[in-house]
Amino acid sequence: MSSPRADREADRTDEITAEQQYVSMLYAKLDELRRDTTKRLTETLRQTGGTPQARTERDISTTMYTDKLTQLSAVEHGLCFGRLDLDSGEVFHVGRLGLFDEEDEYEPLLIDWRAPAARPFYLATAAARDGVRRRRHLRTRWREVVDFEDEVLDLDAAEQGSDLGLAGEATLLAALDARRTGQMGDIVATIQAEQDQIIRAGMNGVLVVQGGPGTGKTAVALHRAAYLLYTFREQLTKRGVLVVGPNSTFLRYIGQVLPSLGETGVLLSTVGGLFPGITATAAEPARAAEIKGWASMVDVLTAAVRDRQQAPKDHIEVQFDREPLRIQRRDVTHARTRARRSRKPHNLARRVFLQEMFSALTTQVADRLGRDLLDRRDLDEINVELRGDPAVVEALDGLWPELTPQEVLDDLLSSPERLTTAARKHLDPGEREELLREPGAEWTPADVPLLDELAELLGVDDAKEREERARQAREELAYAQGVLHIMEQDEEIADEERLRVSDVLDAELLAERHQTRSDLTAAERAAEDRTWTFGHVIVDEAQELSEMAWRVLMRRCPSRSMTLVGDIAQTGAPGGARSWHEVLGPYVADRWKLAELTVNYRTPAEIMTVAADVLDAMDTELEAPTSVRSSGHRPWLRHVAEERLATELPGVVADELHAVGDGRLAVLLPPERLAELGGKVAEEVPGTAVGTRPDGLESPAVLLTVEQAKGLEFDSVLVVDPAGVVEESERGLNDLYVALTRATQRLGVVHTGEVPDVLGALS
């Protein structure tokens, strides 16, 4: 006779076997879709030559099948992760994408996690079951079902999870305790109710997501992007979604999340990456970056542009038609005034200036020749000759030159005279001195908002480009007409085929299709176009952005459909946000919504106890998020004499690497310490990376500044010289708070002098 325990185990084994059969069927369906898509892609790629129309259609099909194949490949791991048993007797499986049975009236085999029918999987509780009798969380390894967790949503059940209301608690904690890999994973199988409310919020307006460390802000933001693309596909496919992160390391860290959710058409960028053709990665002093972020820089740049609109002290004399010609100050001043009053950007207003100046010079030449003897045609000929005279054109170009943002900013920041002229009313001498640098210096991330602002002030006089495009269009049309004529005259083409070509395709349509870049996604087109406006913008670590950076993002999203994710308590940038009202007031007044995340999934309670003391010492009313778990590892404190830090730190790092096993370790230091200690540790501890090199986060250990570690998480963290972290930053306590909350398991602090009072909870 078997025991109750043996019976339960046998039942559990049977359940796993049944789920395995179903999951195997889903993977067979996935494989079938892959084979079919691969076949269609191969057939499309084999199509060579043909008409321009056929080539365009081939490009569209190639892009469609490639995207589909990428999506089908991305959902391989964790294809199905849940099941809903409803009161009605229906059973639904929930996964990363929707799968259907074409032979049975498209009966759903797997519900996409973003579909309305899947929402009870994340929101149903014992108090509000929403028709759900049982929720099952499946744990899989590759294609194998290894375990499951059931939640019976019955008010009479003795235990319904923790007092935090966690759904799938065992599955969630297993995911939280898993080792880090150097890349962020998705949370699609363990989304909690407060996160789901944010992910599925409407697209219109500005939504601010305030959450302390470890509350899943970044994961929520990325899953929200996937949800919006699923729900508002038609709108967002055309305009695209922009996700902005704090630095390139962060973007590499989160880079696989959206593909794993089946979305590849999102543009991931830093603010510094939003100016096409500019690579802005150079370093600069923090004070210079702070000043560049001030809103007063708009006035400085405006003055810098106006400074390039010159007038001579008296006159400029040039030779025209072997006679002296005077460009008088009064004429220049009049033309400049007319151009400025047009309120057009500098390069577009230049046309107004030149028109006025050539008119004045035409009058001067006509007076010299005898205006009474000249008719309108004579005056027009003089005007044309003036416009073609190199000496005259060069003189006028010097008074109102055509400019690029790059040359204006480079000239401004490398010339004490130009900077003083433009900024004397807005920056004091010390601040101007901070901005000066050598001509031709490499661009920094803080330069990009200034370049973008200058692009708005300057505008692009694309009259020549439009003329060139029109010329190319005429050539394309002539080519298309020739192609159709040849096809219609070709004796080898049957009459019915010749008729079909004429009916379906005319020369204008053929020419248009030949020119269209149909193989680019909205994200790819947006990356090449500074003036592109997005359907939705998501900003992570939004509290760090400067006033000038906000101007860039608001230009990219005039609809103000935005999700801003951040934590005021973690603001480290000197020009960063002190309140959301301060940030958003100039753009949307009080027309924005606030959502808060209060549960800390990352940081264990032992570490959060230490970090909470730091938060209490800040000038903020924010409360520390509640940790859902303990790690069993008590944070530790170790003193090392200053003169021995360089020799002893490698040993401390090696010991912690051994303790963390196959996890990831971050060593966080003040910026000045990174250069001093990084090389020494990397030399003595194999597998250690220093700074934000591309593969750094995949290394067992990485040395970073606190700023570089923003938004990242590691199994273990060593904070070196906490007093230095506090002293070297204007918002040092904020930086220390960030440093302490990067760990998912272990925390150690190495100090060389006095320990900051806020770390009194450490032993």
* Residues 236 and 141 both lie in one domain: no
Q: Poorest-confidence range of 179-193, 449-463, 525-539?
A: 179-193
Cβ–Cβ < 8 Å for 85, 136? yes
The sign of the torsion formed by the CA atoms of 456, 458, 464, 467 equals positive
CB 643 within 8 A of CB 188: no
Of 450, 448, 514, the closest CA to residue 480 belongs to: 514
180: pLDDT strictly greater than 60: yes
Higher pLDDT pick, 127 / 277: 277
Type of residue at 649:
L
| Domain-located, residue 489 | no
In a domain, 610, yes or no: yes
> Residue 468 has what pLDDT?
61
76 shares its domain with 93: yes
pTM of the predicted protein model? 0.81
pLDDT in tens, 4-18: 777 678 888 899 999
State which H helix or E strand residue 233 sits in.
helix 233-239
Query: At CA 388, angle to CA 383 and CA 390, rounded to 5?
Result: 125
Number of domains in the chain: 4
- In the chain, the amino acid numbered 103 is E
Taking alpha carbons only, the member of 355, 552, 608, 614 closest to residue 463 is 355
Percent of the chain with pLDDT over 90: 52
Domain boundary among 116, 145, 177: 177
Q: Is 499 among the domain residues? A: no
CA separation for the pair 566, 541 (Å, rounded): 5
Asked if residue 517 has pLDDT above 90, the reply is no
pLDDT at 158: 41
Structure confidence at residue 161 (pLDDT): 43
What is the pLDDT at residue 560? 95
CATH number at residue 685: 3.40.50.300
**pLDDT greater than 90 at residue 157:** no
Q: What is the pLDDT of residue 298?
A: 97
Residues 563 and 686 in one domain: no
> Which of left, alpha, beta for 510 (phi over 0: left; psi -120 to 50: alpha)?
alpha
Which pLDDT tens digit goes with each residue over 389-440?
A: 999 999 999 999 999 999 999 999 999 999 999 999 999 999 999 999 999 9
Listed in sequence order, the residues at least 6 apart from 536 whose beta carbon sits closer than 8 Å to its beta carbon are 203, 225, 228, 236, 239, 241, 242, 557, 561, 562, 563
Residue 504 has, within 13 A of its CA and on its CB side, a CA count of 9
Instruction: Give the mean pLDDT of 590-596.
Output: 94
Residues 479, 468: Cα–Cα separation, whole Å: 16
Answer yes or no: do 631 and 550 share one domain: no
* For residue 516, pLDDT beyond 50: no
In order of 80, 242, 254, 464, 706, the CA distances from 112 in angstroms are 9, 23, 22, 50, 38
251 and 336 within one domain: no
Reply yes or no on whether the pLDDT at 464 is more than 90: no
Q: Concatenated DSSP letters for 167-198?
A: SSHHHHHHHHHSPP-SSPPP-TTT--HHHHHH
The average confidence (pLDDT) of the chain is: 86
Matching residue, tokens 């209490």: 616
Examine residue 481 and state whether it is found in any structural domain, yes or no: no
Closest CA to 27 of 91, 95, 105, 83: 95
Residue partners of 521: CB distance under 8 A and separation at least 6: 63, 67, 240, 264, 265
Q: Is 232 helix (H, G, I), strand (E, B) or coil?
A: coil
Q: Tokens 């744990």 — which residue?
A: 139
Ranges 292-306, 344-358, 740-754: which has the least confidence:
740-754
Residues 102, 207: one domain?
Answer: no
Element (H, E) at 318: strand 315-320
pLDDT at 236 over 90: no
* 554-571 mean pLDDT: 93
DSSP H or E run through 85: strand 80-86
The answer to whether 97 touches 112, Cβ cutoff 8 Å, is yes
DSSP string, 336-352: HHHHHHTT--HHHHHHH
Q: Among 118, 144, 177, where does a domain finish?
A: 177
Confidence bin at 203 (pLDDT 50/70/90): very high
Same domain? For 551 and 660 the reply is: no
Residue 254's pLDDT band (boundaries 50, 70, 90)? confident
Judged by phi (left if over 0) then psi (alpha if -120 to 50, else beta), residue 89 lies in: left
**Structural contact between residues 744 and 176, judged by C-beta atoms closer than 8 angstroms:** yes
**β-strand 80-86 against 132-141: which pairing, if any?**
antiparallel
Q: Are residues 703 and 750 in the same domain?
A: yes
Residue with tokens 């067979």: 28
Q: Find the domain containing 619 and state its range.
A: 605-762
pLDDT at 485: 59
- Are 247 and 205 contained in the same domain? yes
d(CA 350, CA 339): 7
Asked if residue 464 is part of any domain, the answer here is: no
Is residue 173 assigned to a domain?
yes
Q: What average pLDDT does the segment 463-470 reach?
A: 60
Look at strands 80-86 and 91-95 and give their pairing.
antiparallel
Q: Which residues of 279-311 are buried (b: 16+ CB within 10 A; e: fewer)?
A: ebeeebebebbbbbbbeebbebbbbbbeebbeb
Measuring CA to CA, which residue among 110, 124, 184 is closest to residue 152? 124
194 contacts 220 by C-beta, under 8 angstroms: no
What local confidence, expressed as pLDDT, does residue 500 receive?
Answer: 41
Rounded (5°) CA angle 604-171-33: 130
Say how far apart CA 413 and CA 431 lie, in whole Å: 12
Give CA–CA dist 489/748, Å, rounded: 82
Do residues 306 and 395 both lie within one domain?
yes
Higher pLDDT, 83 or 510: 83
113, 147, 177: which is the final residue of a domain? Answer: 177
The pLDDT of residue 457: 97
Q: Is 93 in contact with 148 (CB distance < 8 Å)? A: no
Whether residue 366 is found in the same domain as residue 425: yes
Residue 153 lies in a domain: yes
Is the pLDDT at 201 greater than 90, yes or no? yes
| 185 part of a folded domain | no
> Under DSSP, is residue 426 helix (H, G, I), strand (E, B) or coil?
coil
Q: 522 vs 537, which has greater pLDDT?
A: 537
Cα dist from 266 to 252, 416, 527, 560, whole Å: 14, 42, 10, 18
Verify that 270 and 379 share a domain, yes or no.
no
Reported as a pLDDT band with limits 50, 70 and 90, residue 260 is confident
